[in-house]
Structures are given as C-alpha cells and as structure tokens.
Structure 1
Amino acid sequence: MRSLEEVVPCFGMITVQLAYGGANILCKLALARGLSYLVFTVYRHLLAMAILGPLAYVLERKRRPALSLSILAKIFMLALFGTTIHQNVYYAGLSYTSPTVASALGSVIPALTFILALMLKLEKVTIGSAKGWAKIIGAVVCISGALLFTFWKGHLLGGLVKHPLILVGTKGSGQGPQRGKDDWIKGSLLILTSNIAFSAWLILQAMIYEVYPARLSMTALICFFASLQSSVLGLIFERCKSSWRMGWNIQMLTIVYCGTVISCLVYYLQTFCISKKGPVFAAMFSPLILIIVGAFSAFFLAERLYMGSLIGAVLIILGLYGVLWGKSKDFDENGETKMIAEKTTQTLDAKNCISSSDCHNV
C-alpha cells in the first residue's frame, strides 16, 4: 500500500505532462488558424465548469467544507494566477514562438516553485544529507538539461519523417507566420511571466487545500472564477463578434480537448498530486513536457533531431529521478515519524488506562 502511494502521484504527473504536451500542439494549430486565446480561455472553462459542477455537488456533498468569504477570496486568487494570468499570457506568448521553445521555457518552473516553497517553508532541504543534495543537484541537472535541449543543437541526427504530417499555418495560408528576433523575445518574456504565475499557482494550491480539502469542488470553483475573469477581459479586448462564433474545426476540437482533459482531468490530478507530495514534486515534472512536445514535433511537424536534444532529454530524466529520490526519502522519514508518534500515543493511552479506575468498563 505504501509503494502504491509513492507510484500513483508519479503516474498522475506523467499523465498531466502528456496532456499538456497535446494541448501545446493543438493550441499552436488553433491560434495559427485565428482562434482568440481570450475566447478560448472563456469557452474551455465554461465547458469544464458544466462538467465538474454537477460531479462536485453529488460526490462531495456530504464531506465538502463550508465556504466562507475568506476561502472564496483565496480560490478567486488561485484562479487569477493559475488560469486567467497564466493561460492568457502564455497563449499570447505562444503565438510568437514554437511549441518546443515554449515548453523549454517551462524549465524555470521547478526552480521558481522550489524557491517560493523554501521561502514559505513548504519545502525543507537539509544540506548535510544525501536527500538534500539529491534535490538540489537533481533540480540543477534537470533545468540544465532543458536549457541544453533548447539552446545547443550539436550534431544533426536527422528527422523521423521527411515531410510534416500536420501543417502549422495561419488561417487561409499555407505557411506559418514569419517571426523576427523581436517577436521571439516578446514571446519568451510573455511565457516566462506566465510561468511565474504558474509557480505561484502550485504554491497556492497546496496552501488552500489545507483549509478546503475538496478537490472536485475547488477545481469547479477555479473554472467558474476563471471563466468569469476571462469573460471580462474578452469583452474588453475581443469585441469582434466573429471571434466568439465557433464551428466544428480545429478550434472547436482544441476547446473541447482543453476543457475536458486539461481543465477537468489535469486540474484535478494536479491538485491530488500536490496534496499528496507538495508543489515542488508537481513542478519537477514540468521539463518532461519538453521531451513530449519535442518528440511529437519531430514526428508530426518534421522538426529535425540534434545531439543537444538527445543529451538534454537524458539530463532531464536523470535530474528528475534525483529529485524524486530525495522526495521519496522525505516520504520514508515522514512515514516513520508518523508510526513512532502513533506507537507513543498508544503506549500513553495504555498507561493511562491502567492507572484509571474506569478501564474495567471498557
């Protein structure tokens, strides 16, 4: 049972990154064909709210904590950082960069989350212990691998396919938009800003779950506030009525996928993993999306593979393994501490029972 508790969060976060990888590709295709990211954010969260709302009401009706104004305000801020700011800024940046570069810039998420967790005392690192060094070195290796994957090409290894199976182009055009250096910098800065908001979101989830441990209800409320906040932005900055009309095409497919898979399944899985292992554990899986998107792009978009990509992928996996090993040692120590505390409590209860005159009635 104990090993299952260790494995399930790992598989959960791998599933999360696979889902995010698919979303990155679909969003790039849909944005290139004219989908407004403001409209997209509104529709996907409305769809998610319509699915999660009834489920949360039925499944958590008897064990859902009472909602106070303080908790609602905290969940409102959670939606503001994790969805409204993070997603709208991210998709704005994605329109200026490629999915692979956007995923590579996500390598800063583990470092940012790790620093925030240390500052808020949600994460502990013992420098003199093996697990402490494993976390630090693993994080550095993982981030270094992501940077190497992005900025050093090395020897050309070739491509998996000769011609792209999917064409990324603008609406009504067979070729993608040509971006200059200024656009690449603008896109990178936007994505880095969104990653800061995402790191804050991971930390806030851990803190809010302590006072409101109802995952489905919290996820449904996040989607509700996200759709409300994004609707206000959409009505201000996206007044063209044609942008709000949807047909059955790649744009609608992206909305349905992100609304059901990302906003419903991934949000819930992420909250579950954070409640079990903490925000730093969840953040350390972010560089995996770089490998996933890189492999997908190589196969479907005919992007070429380089030696730097291969070495970077290996370093990402090794660094991730190091951090997970350190976190597993934390889990072991916490389990042992809990067992000792339970045995101590049982011993004290037994002694109190012996000295009490009421024990014979038990």
Structure 2
Amino acid sequence: MQACAPYAAMLLVQFAYGGSNILMKIALEKGLNQIVFVVYRHVIAVILLGPFAYVIERKQRPLLSLSVIIKIFLLSSLGTTIHLNVYYAGLAYTSPTVASALSNVIPSLTFIMAVLLGMEKVKTESPRGWAKMLGTAICISGSLVFTFWKGGYLFKSFENRALINIYSTKGSAGEYRHAKENWIKGSALILTSHFAWSAWLVLQAVVHKVYPARLSLNTLICFFASIQSSFLALFFARTPAIWKLDWNVQLLTIIYSGAVISALGYYLQTWCISHKGPVFVAMFSPLLVVIVGLFSAFAFAERLHLGSLMREKA
C-alpha cells in the first residue's frame, strides 16, 4: 500500500490541476487579473500551511542559512512567480486543452535537466536508455508541431453548443473564440512557463536535501511567491479596483487554487520528489491533457485539431 502512495498522490495532484486550469480560464475571461490571483492564492496557502508547519516541524526544522534562503527564493521565482504569471498570460491567448497538452513537454525537459545535473543516468548501451532519449525527442518535437501547426478539425465536439460560454465572441457551434486568441503566442508563453516549472522540480530535489522540512519549505515558497508577485503588481496591477473580491467565480478560483493547489498540491509534489525524484513527478503531467480535454469537449464545445491529436499521440 505504501508503494502505491506516490502514484495515488500524483493522480490526485493532476486532477486538482485540471480543475484549476478550467476555473482559471473562466476567471481570466471574467476579468481576474493574473498577478492579483497569484498574490492572493499564495497568501491563502501561507495562512493554511503556516500553522501546520510551525506545530508539526518545530523540533525537526533546520536552521535557515543565507544560502538556503537564496535557494528557496529562487525556487519561488521559478515554480511560482515566473511559471504562473507566464503560464496564465499564455492561457489568456489559447484554450485550456492546448495549455494542458503542452504540459507533456515537462517530463522531457525535467529529464534533460536531471541528466545534466547528474541526478539521472542514461545508459546508451541499454534499450531503456535509448527509450528515454527517443521519448524525450518525440515529446519536444511534438510540442513544436503542436505550437506551429494547428491543422484542421478531426472530430466534432461532444456538444453542439458550449454548456459554459466563457468567450466574449463566438462563431459557429464548436468554434468559440476569444478576441485575444493567438495560437503561437499563447503556446510560446506556456512552453516558457513549463521550462521554469521543470527547473523548479529539479531544484526542489536539491533544496530538499539541505532543508528537509516539507511543510516549512512550501510555506516559505508560497511566502516568497506572494512577495515577488506583489512587487510585480506595483508595475502591472496598480488599479485598486482589480484587487476587490466579490462572491463570484474569481473568488472561487483563488480559494480553490490557494487551498488545493498551492497548499495541498505543492506539499504532495514535494513529498513525491523526496521519495521518487523530480522525473517521477514530471511523468504525470501528460495526464492533465486527458482530464482537461474531456471536460472542455463537454463544457466548452472544444474540437480536436490535427496538431493536438498528433501531440497527444506523441
């Protein structure tokens, strides 16, 4: 049973990310500012994680040295501030299915970084080693195909009309469009965010060795993330009105992402990385496209493109 725990944890995390992807797409269309979202989300996570970290790990928490603080600050920059702000900027230009499908490149990027840092070994004389290299090449090339070749529609959506219409403009059934949609720009931004996320997974394995208190580590990550994004808000989110919260889907998205993703999800990923390594965690990223793709087909009447089909097969 204990051997299955990391697999169950990562399945739960991917379903949680699927829900966050859908909610965030709706919230962005309804006017939620992405920087405001990142700040509030991680403030909620700090409030939830902080008391548990203080009580549970007060006797086992290592002292914070300057070098550890710098590493945790860098972790926050990569996995939260850069990854999330760039990711949600890309999500505003494309669909949840595209954003989720492009996450399939994360295992390849994480594997390459782990190999370069000596955390993973590639035995070129064994079939397993060749399979890893071939899979890495296919995933990366597939992402490029997905980004630059949209292709034609292969399958109709499950619904003729979207059950949830989140777009400001629309065309024929199953071809809803946001006025800002830009396939290449959105995909490029999302791929950039996934590069930062892969680096976050690898660096987290390094930091955990010198600071093994997982609850405290994630509390500090979320704390620095809120500080960093608050600094960005001084330049890009200075309008007081966008910080106002009402009882709507924007508030639901913030609470869900703060409690389920930043608090629970981050902790589960850290726990899995400490037991199985960063590549194991990255391997579950392709599951996200299945979860979000099925939901989007029913709820948003999205249709499958030739490029996206090839990407899923890759």
Give the distance between the partners of 1:129 and 1:92, measured in 2 at CA: 42
Give the distance between the partners of 2:94 and 2:227, measured in 1 at CA: 28
Could you say which residue in structure 2 is the equivalent of 1:36?
33
Mapped contact 2:101–2:308 kept (Cα < 8 A): no
Mapped contact 1:97–1:187 kept (Cα < 8 A): yes
1:277 to partner: Cα distance: 1.3
Could you say which residue in structure 1 is the equivalent of 2:179?
178
- The SS at the match of 1:298 is helix
Residues 238, 154 of structure 1: CA spacing in aligned structure 2 closer, same or farther, 3 A cutoff?
closer
1:176 to partner: Cα distance: 5.2
CA RMSD of aligned residues (A): 2.4
- The SS at the match of 1:233 is helix
Could you say which residue in structure 2 is the equivalent of 1:56?
53
- The SS at the match of 1:89 is helix
Q: How far does the alpha carbon of each residue in 1:56-109 deviate from its partner, in whole angstroms, 9 at most, with x for none?
A: 111111211121121111101100111011101111111111111122222222
Q: How far does the alpha carbon of each residue in 1:195-240 deviate from its partner, in whole angstroms, 9 at most, with x for none?
A: 1111110111000001011111100000000001111111221111
Could you say which residue in structure 2 is the equivalent of 1:235?
234
Give the distance between the partners of 2:146 and 2:272, measured in 1 at CA: 27
Mapped contact 1:33–1:170 kept (Cα < 8 A): no
Give the distance between the partners of 1:186 and 1:147, measured in 2 at CA: 13
Contiguous gaps of at least 5 residues in structure 2: 170-175
Mapped contact 2:75–2:221 kept (Cα < 8 A): yes
Residues 43, 62 of structure 1: CA spacing in aligned structure 2 closer, same or farther, 3 A cutoff?
same
The residue correspondences of 1:1-362 to structure 2 (distance < 5 A) are 4-5=2-3, 7-140=4-137, 151=149, 156-170=154-168, 177-179=178-180, 183-305=182-304, 313=312, 315=313
1:149 to partner: Cα distance: 7.3
- The SS at the match of 2:163 is coil
Larger Rg: 1
Equivalent position amino acid for 1:280 in 2: V
Bigger mean CA deviation after superposition, 76-85 or 96-105: 96-105
Equivalent position amino acid for 1:93 in 2: G
Equivalent position amino acid for 2:163 in 1: L
Number of residue equivalences: 307
1:300 to partner: Cα distance: 0.9
Bigger mean CA deviation after superposition, 255-264 or 282-291: 282-291
Give the distance between the partners of 1:59 and 1:168, measured in 2 at CA: 42
Mapped contact 1:139–1:284 kept (Cα < 8 A): no
- The SS at the match of 2:124 is coil
Mapped contact 2:167–2:177 kept (Cα < 8 A): yes
Give the distance between the partners of 1:59 and 1:244, measured in 2 at CA: 33
Could you say which residue in structure 2 is the equivalent of 1:340?
none
Equivalent position amino acid for 1:115 in 2: I
- What is the TM-score when the length of structure 2 is the normalising length? 0.89
Identity %: 58
1:162 to partner: Cα distance: 2.5
